[in-house]
C-alpha cells in the first residue's frame, strides 16, 4: 500500500476511466462510491483504506492502479544540481611570531591564540 496522498491522487486519476475499465453500469456504480469516499476525505475523514479497497476490488482497476503508480514512481526522482561541484578555497591566516595558522570560516579579525596579535593573510 502507498501513502494517503498517493491513494487520493490515484482515485482522482482513475475516475474518468472507470466506464472504460468496467463497463458503463459497473463503472458508474464505482464512480458514485468513489465520489462519496472522496467527499468524506475532503471533509477530513480518514477513508484512504476504503478507497484503496475499492480501487483494488476488480482485476481491471487493480491493473490500472498498478500501472499508474509504477509510472508515477519513475517520474518522481532526484536530479542533482547542474554544473561541476568543486571545493571553495578559504583564505588562510598566519601568526607573524609563530607557526599558528587558521582558515577563515567567518568574517572578522583573527587573533593568534598564543601571542594575542592579529594574524596576517598568507599569500597563495
User: CA distances (Å), 28 to each of 21, 22, 33, 35, 48, in order?
Assistant: 11, 9, 9, 10, 20
Q: What is the pLDDT of residue 118?
A: 92
Percent of the chain with pLDDT over 90: 39
55 vs 31: CA distance, rounded Å: 10
pTM of the model: 0.56
Q: What is the pLDDT of residues 35-76, one digit of tens each?
A: 999 999 888 888 999 999 999 999 999 999 999 888 876 666
Q: Are strands 101-103 and 92-94 parallel, antiparallel or unpaired?
A: antiparallel
- For residue 102, being part of any structural domain is answered with yes
Q: How many CB atoms lie within 10 A of CB 9?
A: 15
Q: What is the pLDDT of residue 4?
A: 79
Q: Are residues 45 and 70 in the same domain?
A: yes
Q: Are residues 69 and 103 in the same domain?
A: no
The number of domains in the chain is 2
User: CA distances (Å), 83 to each of 72, 86, 88, in order?
Assistant: 27, 9, 14
Cell of 89: 578555497
Q: Are residues 49 and 94 in the same domain?
A: no
Q: Are residues 10 and 67 in the same domain?
A: yes
Range of the domain at 38: 4-75
Cell of 76: 518522481
Q: Are residues 14 and 68 in the same domain?
A: yes
Q: Are residues 69 and 18 in the same domain?
A: yes
74 vs 59: CA distance, rounded Å: 23
- For residue 96, being part of any structural domain is answered with yes
Amino acid at each position: 500500500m502507498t501513502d494517503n496522498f498517493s491513494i487520493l491522487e490515484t482515485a482522482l486519476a482513475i475516475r474518468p476511466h472507470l466506464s472504460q475499465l468496467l463497463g458503463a453500469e459497473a463503472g458508474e456504480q464505482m464512480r458514485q462510491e468513489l465520489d462519496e469516499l472522496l467527499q468524506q476525505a475532503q471533509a477530513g475523514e480518514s477513508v484512504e483504506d476504503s478507497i484503496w479497497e475499492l480501487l483494488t476490488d476488480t482485476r481491471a482497476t487493480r491493473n490500472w492502479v498498478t500501472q499508474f503508480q509504477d509510472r508515477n514512481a519513475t517520474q518522481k526522482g532526484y536530479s542533482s544540481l547542474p554544473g561541476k561541484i568543486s571545493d571553495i578555497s578559504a583564505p588562510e591566516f598566519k601568526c607573524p611570531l609563530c607557526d599558528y595558522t587558521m582558515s577563515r570560516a567567518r568574517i572578522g579579525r583573527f587573533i593568534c591564540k598564543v601571542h594575542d596579535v592579529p594574524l596576517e593573510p598568507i599569500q597563495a
